[in-house]
Amino acid sequence: MHFDRRQILKALSAGAAAGMLPQSAFAQQKKLRIGLVVKVLGINYFDVTRDGGQDAAKELGDVELIYAGPTVATVEQQIAVIDGLIAQKVDALVISANDANALVPTAKKAINRGITVLSFDSGIAPQGRVMHVNAPHDDLIGANDVRMISKTLGGKGEVAILSATSQATNQNLWIEKMKEEWKKPDYADLKLVGVVYGDDAADKSYREADGLMKAHPDLRGIISPTAVGIVAAAKAVTDAGKVGKIFVTGHGLPSEMKPNVLSGVTDTFQLWSPADLGYAAVMYAGLIARGAATGKQGSTAKIGRLGDMTVEADNNAYLKDLLVFDKSNIAKYATQF
């Protein structure tokens, strides 16, 4: 099928003026290689985002998705991975950042070489990317972490937070929003006693959770906003024989957390669809690289099965659905991701 270049440019101009760009003729003109760079390899959460990204690549058509990441969740290793993809001359990079600011020089290098750079999951600072594709709004996620543990504990008791790395953009934002929620009078008897970091490593997260229990004999809850940390914390509580005395909540995969919900160490926990997050990020990257979307604040694009998504402040787009899991629905979602 032949498309007149003048007609395409006219359609693009009209779409840009309306804040919405088409995804038809022009979007199919260019073969793409997109690098999907995660914080660390070997984590099921990111494997699920990869699967969603593959779905987007197929729907975009003529897209090769290269899944990559460091073997240890350090910014140094992640920079080396990104440099390798820049050397391969990929068309776009979609990155979950281990450090928002430290990745900016490398991201700018990619941009200067004509590579479209987006972040997803854990953001790169705005000056280092076109846009960021996020989970549901941070204030909703962070506040709900506190609400969940408060409901489980009846609003009373000592609680600690087990996070990923100390530089992780998304975890730090969620913790900030947790602390804002914690200031409300509703939580006057719910005490935050500490924040520790497991670096998204199962063994270190387990040791940190064990250390929290030893340092705080009256500890009643652990919030872990990381899929690695929540499983490790649940195991540490179980191994210590404190199921029913200390409860674990946060963010996790239903397939990994099902045993902990059924055992009672976790009452409720939350997440969004990691597949949808990877899907949206890769779809946006492909559309921007092909000129069918801008990623600019205020713009709207049709993101395949997710429908219209609008880019908000600081060039952030957000998933709509936050999912909460408990004994009533864990079996259903455990078969999905």
Domains of the chain: 5-135+273-320 (3.40.50.2300), 138-271 (3.40.50.2300)
Q: Is the pLDDT of residue 27 over 60?
A: no
Q: Is the pLDDT of residue 260 over 50?
A: yes
Rounded average pLDDT over 256-283: 98
The DSSP bridge pattern shows strands 92-95 and 32-37 to be parallel
Q: Is the pLDDT of residue 21 over 80?
A: no
User: What is the distance of C-alpha 248 from the center of its chain?
Assistant: 20
- Both tokens assigned to 160: 């600690």
The whole-angstrom separation of Cα 131 and Cα 61 is 22
Q: Is the pLDDT of residue 6 over 70?
A: no
- Both tokens assigned to 67: 């899944």
Evaluate whether 86 touches 212 at the Cβ level (below 8 Å). no
The whole-angstrom separation of Cα 119 and Cα 122 is 7
Q: Is the pLDDT of residue 22 over 90?
A: no
Q: Is the pLDDT of residue 17 over 50?
A: no
What pTM did the predictor assign? 0.85
**pLDDT of the residue at 19:** 42
- Share of the chain residues as helix, strand and coil, in percent rounded to the nearest 5: 45, 20, 35
**pLDDT of the residue at 30:** 81
Rounded average pLDDT over 27-54: 92
Q: Is the pLDDT of residue 8 over 50?
A: no
Evaluate whether 311 touches 296 at the Cβ level (below 8 Å). yes
Residue linked to tokens 């593959």? 54
Q: What is the largest CA-CA distance in the chain?
A: 72
**Tens digit of pLDDT for each residue in 107-157?**
999 999 999 999 999 999 999 999 999 999 999 999 999 999 999 999 999
- H-helix or E-strand spanning residue 95: strand 92-95
CA distances from residue 293 to 34, 131, 208 in whole angstroms, order as listed: 16, 11, 43
Q: Is the pLDDT of residue 285 over 60?
A: yes
How many residues are present in the chain? 337
**pLDDT of the residue at 5:** 35
Q: What angle do CA 161, 39, 27 make, to 5 degrees?
A: 125
Q: Is the pLDDT of residue 232 over 70?
A: yes
At position 99, the amino acid (one-letter code) is: D
With bands split at pLDDT 50, 70 and 90, how would you rate the model's confidence at 275? very high
**pLDDT of the residue at 26:** 42
Q: What is the DSSP letter of 331?
A: H
Residues pairing with 32 in the sheet: 63
**Tens digit of pLDDT for each residue in 76-92?**
999 999 999 999 999 99
Rounded average pLDDT over 167-189: 96
**Tens digit of pLDDT for each residue in 213-222?**
999 999 999 9
The whole-angstrom separation of Cα 223 and Cα 241 is 18
DSSP result, 265-291: S-S-EEE--HHHHHHHHHHHHHHHHTT
Residue linked to tokens 């804040």? 19
